[in-house]
Structure 1
Amino acid sequence: MKPVFPVEKTIRERSSVRSYDPRALSTKEKDLFYDFIKSLDNPFSVDVNFRLLENNDALKGEKLGTYGVIKGARNFIGASVPDTDLALEALGYSMEHLILYAVALGYGTCWLGGTFDRSAFSHAMNLKEGDLFPVITPLGYPAEKKRLMESLMRWGAKSDQRKDWNELFFKDNFSTPLIKTDADDFAFALEMTRLAPSAVNKQPWRVVKSQNAYHFYEAKTLKEGKHSFDIQRVDIGIAACHFGLAAAEKKLQGGFKKLSLPDISSPAEMIYLFSWDLNS
């Protein structure tokens, strides 16, 4: 799916918004997002279920809560997937595409993976047996003034910092950093990948260019929480979305595909997930 917004401008403008003007979205605005959700796809052929939620959609009239992390938001988007291969990556891919669309329209969003009332939100999501429900985002109008807590959270998480190229992108092995000139036209897609958001800003993606492919790995640095899913696989999907949208905008050849395990010597914490195959 080709982007309907300027990729680099939107990616660079995106930031986590935690303080909102307490206005609900209008029916017309909701329909705009419903229509975009219907058009969403992902390269992993996984059906991602999105629900646009109201603050009072919880059980018994309770409000959907975020433990004080988000203030003023009246609307949220939740996403769930069946527990299948590359499901979390697909969710991250599709939801980041939706978030960037919202950002391009001037709305505020914020990836939330742990700091929300999962029980209340799960009821509102109407989940099926076995569904994975890892993340939500508020969706609304950014408040004119940020709270002190919001600024402190951004500072503590080093939200504005990203790893350097030589820590994320490699050539043929994990010992040789990829030089930008060796990436040719894909340098832009990789730079957009570098700027992707992630849980506690761990940036767990690693990409190895080898022969006719860019191989995506997870650098596993966080333990699975009590909900028994790997939130960093969502992060890899987010990064892949940035790569895919940038490649589509520049009309670069290839596509995402899960290949046989690449013949690349890798550290134990590096887990191969999928590749951008130039021959696809």
Structure 2
Amino acid sequence: VDARRSARSYQLKAVEQDAIEEIKDFVGAMPVPFEHNVGIRFFHADPTKELYSLMKSPPDNIAFLAETDITSISKVGFVGELLILFAQSKNLSTCWYGHYKLAELERLMPHLKSPKQLKEANMGFGYSKGETSGIRAICITPLGYYEDGGLRLIDRITQKTISHKRKEIIELLDNQDDLIHLTDDILYALDLGRRAPSAANSQMWRFGFEDSYNTITIAMPQGYRHFKWEHPNVDIGICACHVWLGLLDKGFQPNVRVSEEDGRAVWKISVR
């Protein structure tokens, strides 16, 4: 978790096959604590800016596919982050991308049922502006070796001044008075949660509690709308993944549930 960074510049060389096979083996045995239908597809891309727009694609890439209802989208964040963290453990760089070029992805990795679905993208980017039908590539990620010298000046500035900053836990609580009731183990898990990546580093998640602080809830504030990213429930799933991993690290075997409430995904992670 500490080592993971969103990389936006890659060496244009293929990932070693042994590492690819290790990741595929991990995907096959991934310890996801709930039922899901998230699909994971590996694909190759050309070294152009057609797919990611602002950077050249490395040879190896991964797509996360699912239905487009709110809970399925949020599950993509949870499941995908498990893979991304595993890739980081192999010293491979990644970056969540929702605003990929849909037509280019379809050329590289055919997955749409109809050419008409290309028109659903937001100005050509991402799978859709909102809910649509069928299985779609909710997000993709490059997979490769970081190239520090390839970053644009604006990216270097952003990386050093914005992308690593995180709000304090108390700022992320639905009720700040809850802080004094939280155990060290819960605080540890929330600390991992607050370090999760999010669109434009917005950190839109909020933590609440049920069952005498034995259940953590993770969701966006009601009515939240991101200024740029149409599907922030992905980010909520990513945060939930980090919290779950933190509790596992402390010896718990948490129960994990996600449901749709008030037009948003609400995760509930219980330690008893």
Task: Report how far residue 198 of structure 1 moved.
Answer: 0.4
Task: Report how far residue 42 of structure 1 moved.
Answer: 3.0
Whether 1:52 and 2:42 are equivalent positions in the alignment is: yes
Whether the aligned pair in 2 keeps the contact of 1:122 and 1:133 (CA below 8 Å) is no
Mapped to 2, the partners of 1:44 and 1:85 lie a distance apart of: 16
**Which residue matches 1:278?**
271
Whether the aligned pair in 1 keeps the contact of 2:97 and 2:141 (CA below 8 Å) is yes
**Which residue matches 1:222?**
226
Q: Which of residues 132, 136, 140 in structure 2 aligns to 1:136? A: 140
The 5 A counterparts of 1:129-278 are: 129=113, 130-147=134-151, 148-154=153-159, 158-169=162-173, 174-179=174-179, 182-210=182-210, 211=212, 212-219=214-221, 220-222=224-226, 230-258=230-258, 271=264, 273-278=266-271
Whether 1:67 and 2:71 are equivalent positions in the alignment is: no
Whether 1:127 and 2:111 are equivalent positions in the alignment is: yes
1:230-258: CA deviations, max 9, x gaps?
42110011001111112112212431124
Match for 1:214: what amino acid?
I
Distance 1:131-1:177 versus aligned 2 partners, 3 A rule? farther
Whether the aligned pair in 2 keeps the contact of 1:180 and 1:187 (CA below 8 Å) is no
Task: Report how far residue 43 of structure 1 moved.
Answer: 3.3
Structure 2 segments unaligned to the other structure (5+ residues) = 114-133
Distance 1:90-1:63 versus aligned 2 partners, 3 A rule? same
Distance 1:77-1:249 versus aligned 2 partners, 3 A rule? same
- For the residue of structure 2 that corresponds to 1:108, the secondary structure is coil
1:204-237: CA deviations, max 9, x gaps?
1111123231112213231686xxxx42110011
Structure 1 segments unaligned to the other structure (5+ residues) = 1-10, 262-267
Task: Report how far residue 63 of structure 1 moved.
Answer: 7.6
- For the residue of structure 1 that corresponds to 2:178, the secondary structure is coil
Distance 1:119-1:44 versus aligned 2 partners, 3 A rule? farther
Match for 2:144: what amino acid?
G
Distance 1:26-1:278 versus aligned 2 partners, 3 A rule? closer
TM-score by length of 1: 0.78
**Which residue matches 1:40?**
30
TM-score by length of 2: 0.80
Whether the aligned pair in 1 keeps the contact of 2:46 and 2:57 (CA below 8 Å) is no
* RMSD over equivalenced CA pairs, Å: 2.7
Report the identity percentage: 26
Task: Report how far residue 274 of structure 1 moved.
Answer: 2.4
